[in-house]
């Protein structure tokens, strides 16, 4: 980016955890300026009152109610809305802004028939499903260049897809009977009040949910080309995704060394992917737009095990969206994003 004025961006749904993370990243982005931030449930509230962590950059900004006229003509709009709530906003703004980046699920699935099954509602804009690029740069970077609409992946699909896709593309695994067991921090459930996500419910607890019916299942299947049995878990932590994936190697002689070499070569040029023999840790990715991946082949049982870790609010949401926006808008892909996590 040159020394010209920064690009003008807005957030619809800025009062949730993902919206707050977007604001934090935009505050540190040298080529973006936040010009509008809506939060209908918090309209009239100062940003600093809801998120004191943002006071130094947005202390006097007030959340507004959504008005399309506040966004028309901006370079990018990020949608941090609940699932199936983005379609009316897209109807208002598509092709009236430089790029729409939807962090919800509304434009992730290409088959409109899947929405009633997994989200309980018909899609109102099926004609735009093919217009939105799936926003996983490590797999779809070329499609993102100049994109007008980006469907930013879910945090679970990001973790699972990056762990499995190198093996799928190399024909190294069978694509049926693939298992994804993944655990998420409680921030993945959003800021809204829910009895199952209170401190008393989450602390010293670990449980599986969405058994056989979780809405990210078809998204993972679409992104990887695999038949997936997906089981998500809620872990007693604020941030992080740890995805443990199991698949059958296509060749019985496939080894751990070969698996690690395959991952290393696949991601050799990727700034936001770390391949290591060490088992990934969610803490190592805290605050970073980085995913850590490893793999093992168990000769005794014949299974490939591949594990990934990421920060669900950064690489799994806001950071992934900013990375996509950088590409779509012609900026350096890594600008405004950290590769190093916070420790301790």
Instruction: State how far Cα 232 lies from the chain centre.
Output: 15
**How far, CA to CA in Å, does 67 sit from each of 40, 72, 247, 342?**
10, 10, 47, 37
User: Count of alpha carbons within 13 Å of 55, Cβ hemisphere only?
Assistant: 6
**Active-site pick, 99, 155, 226, 245:** 155
- With contact defined as beta carbons under 8 Å apart, do 47 and 37 qualify? yes
Instruction: State how far Cα 309 lies from the chain centre.
Output: 12
Please give the Cα distance from 274 to 113 (Å, whole number): 36
- With contact defined as beta carbons under 8 Å apart, do 239 and 342 qualify? no
- Known catalytic residue: 155? yes
Calculate Rg over the CA atoms of the chain.
20
The closest alpha carbon to 220, from 165, 259, 270, belongs to 165
Residues forming the active site: 155
């Amino acid at each position: 980016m040159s020394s010209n004025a920064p690009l003008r961006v807005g957030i619809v749904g800025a009062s949730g955890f993902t919206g707050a993370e977007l604001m934090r990243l935009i505050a540190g982005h040298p080529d973006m300026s936040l010009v509008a931030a809506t939060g209908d449930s918090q309209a009239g509230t100062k940003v600093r009152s809801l998120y004191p962590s943002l006071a130094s950059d947005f202390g006097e900004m007030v959340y507004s109610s959504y008005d399309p006229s506040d966004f028309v003509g901006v370079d990018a709009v990020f949608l941090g809305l609940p699932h199936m709530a983005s379609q009316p906003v897209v109807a208002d703004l598509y092709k009236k802004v430089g790029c729409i980046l939807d962090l919800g699920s509304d434009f992730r699935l290409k088959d409109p028939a899947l929405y009633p099954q997994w989200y309980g509602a018909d899609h109102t804009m099926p004609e735009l499903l093919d217009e939105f690029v799936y926003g996983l740069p490590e797999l779809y970077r070329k499609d993102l260049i100049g994109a007008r609409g980006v469907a930013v992946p879910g945090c679970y699909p990001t973790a699972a897809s990056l762990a499995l896709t190198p093996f799928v593309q190399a024909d190294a695994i069978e694509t049926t009977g693939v298992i994804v067991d993944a655990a998420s921090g409680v921030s993945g459930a959003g800021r809204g009040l829910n009895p199952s996500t209170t401190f008393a419910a989450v602390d010293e607890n670990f449980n599986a949910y969405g058994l056989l019916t979780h809405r990210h299942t078809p998204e993972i299947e679409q992104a990887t080309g695999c038949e997936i049995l997906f089981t998500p878990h809620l872990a007693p932590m604020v941030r992080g995704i740890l995805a443990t994936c199991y698949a059958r190697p296509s060749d019985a002689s496939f080894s751990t060394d070969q698996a690690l070499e395959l991952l290393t070569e696949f991601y050799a040029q990727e700034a936001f992917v770390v391949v290591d023999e060490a088992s990934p840790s969610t803490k190592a990715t805290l605050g970073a737009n980085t995913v850590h991946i490893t793999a093992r082949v168990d000769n005794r049982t014949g299974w490939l095990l591949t594990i990934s870790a990421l920060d669900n609010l950064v690489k799994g949401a806001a950071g992934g969206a900013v990375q996509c926006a950088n590409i779509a808008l012609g900026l350096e892909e890594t600008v405004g994003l950290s590769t190093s996590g916070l420790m301790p």
